[in-house]
Amino acid sequence: MSFNLQKIRNDFPILSRKINGYPLVYLDNAATSQKPQQVIDCIVDYYSNYNANIHRGVHTLSQEATDAYEAARQKIQTHFNAKEAFEIIFTAGTTHGINLVASGFSEILKKGDEIIVSAMEHHSNIVPWQMLCEKTGAILKVIPMNEEGVLIISEYEKLLNIKTKLVFVNHVSNALGTINPIAEIIEKAHRVGAAVLVDGAQSCSHIKPDFQKLDVDFYVTSAHKMCGPTGVGILYMKEELGNKLPPYQGGGEMIAEVTFEKTTYAGLPHKFEAGTPNICGGIAFGAAIDYLNNIGFEAIEKHENELLKYATEKLLEIDGLKIYGTGPNKTSVVSFNIEGIHPYDIGTIVDKLGIAVRTGHHCAQPIMDFYKIPGTVRASFAFYNTLEEVDALVNAVKKAKMMLS
């Protein structure tokens, strides 16, 4: 379809809301995206017409639900160009996927092994690895970043050695919008035999990664940042690594055979999908993938880059305003502060004017510590936002500055 912004906005019921008497300007898309009517209808259709448990039933409803759920897995496989559908593991979200991998490697790593994270990770891609190190005796090392909010790859190269077993990096920084050079990071890690996990929570609504082209070992993301529902995401893992890792949870579905003497486990993906999954969520994730591809990621990227450029220029016209994350490769995120004003106060005032932004450290406290700030105001744009909404943000920030100075 052609990029018809008004038609797209009409697909999102919530965008017609008013907040405090003002039209809603939703600029917190890095936290979660809004949902189009097509995804909402998919959820209603599932519960209205074919709600049933999957994989086990011979009755019609179970077969219909199973077919729809597995069709969604295949859509996701095709979208990300995974080699096999069974390499797509449904999870409860990005954090769940990271913890699943960390749990598996807790039985593989040994004392003295090294793992690497970047300085700009979300807490979800820091804490599980710290816990892993505490359990195994592995050593955690950090790729530093510069003042622009860009990783220093020459320092990363110095960290890599034959002891490096795992590298973890986000594709896009949730706090800064920086797009990291993951293809280069993966290639360099593979030279020393290390596996790479990429946190794609912030990238997949803006970028269409190709898992085979990247040669990534693990990739995690969440549906709710891609116009899908909360409580569902995926972990991609290469088949050979999936066969190597032990199960994360025990229960139904993930077994081949159970006796009181011994249990054998199912193959991928069921080995890592214990219990009844979020069936409706998985199906609706597939509907969200369809919706985004119908618009087209080239059109999405073009429009969001226009929003980013315009917002950056207009906000920098405000005296005392500083943007954090000024690297050359970014998604549509602008994190900023105004000198002498706490970001929470700005966020509170712009909310009174109907504008939703995020304030705080964005679960990326090491980034804030690097800049020696308590947090930022983060405006994160999606393909359904408009230049007029950017103007509304800029005017609201000007008003907040006037009131708080």
Q: In the chain, where does the domain assigned CATH 3.40.640.10 lie?
A: 40-293
Rounded CA-CA distance 177/173 in Å is: 5
d(Cα 304, Cα 395) in Å, to the nearest integer? 20
pLDDT at 2: 65
Nearest-angstrom CA–CA distance, 368 and 200: 21
What is the fold of 5-30+296-404? Aspartate Aminotransferase, domain 1 (3.90.1150)
Number of H helices, E strands in the chain: 14, 17
* Other beta carbons less than 10 A from residue 182's beta carbon: 22
User: Do residues 101 and 310 touch, judged by C-beta distance below 8 A?
Assistant: no
**Peptide bond connecting 144 to the previous residue in cis, omega within 30 degrees of 0:** no
Nearest-angstrom CA–CA distance, 236 and 99: 13
Dihedral over Cα of 368, 369, 371, 373: its sign: positive
Given the candidates 3.40.640.10, 2.115.10.20, 3.30.465.10, 3.60.20.10, the CATH classification of the domain at 40-293 is 3.40.640.10
Decide if 363 is catalytic: yes
* pLDDT value at residue 274: 86
Task: Give the angle subtended at the CA of 132 by the CAs of 153 and 185, to the nearest 5°.
Answer: 20
CA 355 centroid distance within chain:
23
Report which DSSP code applies to 123.
Answer: G
Handedness of CA 52, 219, 120, 124 (dihedral sign): positive
- The pLDDT of residue 56: 79
Question: What pTM did the predictor assign?
Answer: 0.95
State the pairing for strand pair 25-26/355-356.
parallel
Predicted local distance difference test score (pLDDT) of residue 3 = 87
pLDDT of residue 1: 47
Instruction: Report which DSSP code applies to 217.
Output: S
Query: What residues contact residue 262 under an 8 Å CB cut-off, 6+ apart?
Result: none
Exposed e or buried b per residue across 234-267, where buried means at least 16 C-beta atoms within 10 angstroms of its C-beta: bbbbbeebbeebebbeeeebbbeeeeeeeeebbe
- Rounded Cα distance between 74 and 173, Å, is 28
256 backbone dihedrals φ, ψ, rounded to 5°: -95, -45
Instruction: Of 112, 110, 140, give the one whose Cα is nearest residue 128.
Output: 140
Q: Which of 204, 227, 280, 363 is catalytic?
A: 363
The alpha carbon of residue 256 and the mean position of all alpha carbons in its chain are separated, in whole angstroms, by: 32
Tell me where in the chain the CATH 3.90.1150.10 domain(s) lie: 5-30+296-404
Pairwise CA distance, residues 144 & 152, whole Å? 6
pLDDT by 10s per residue, the chain, length 405: 468 999 999 999 999 999 999 999 999 999 999 999 999 999 999 999 999 999 978 899 999 999 999 999 999 999 999 999 999 999 999 999 999 999 999 999 999 999 999 999 999 999 999 999 999 999 999 999 999 999 999 999 999 999 999 999 999 999 999 999 999 999 999 999 999 999 999 999 999 999 999 999 999 999 999 999 999 999 999 999 999 998 887 777 776 777 787 777 777 898 898 889 999 999 999 999 999 999 999 999 999 999 999 999 999 999 999 999 999 999 999 999 999 999 999 999 999 999 999 999 999 999 999 999 999 999 999 999 999 999 999 999 999 999 998
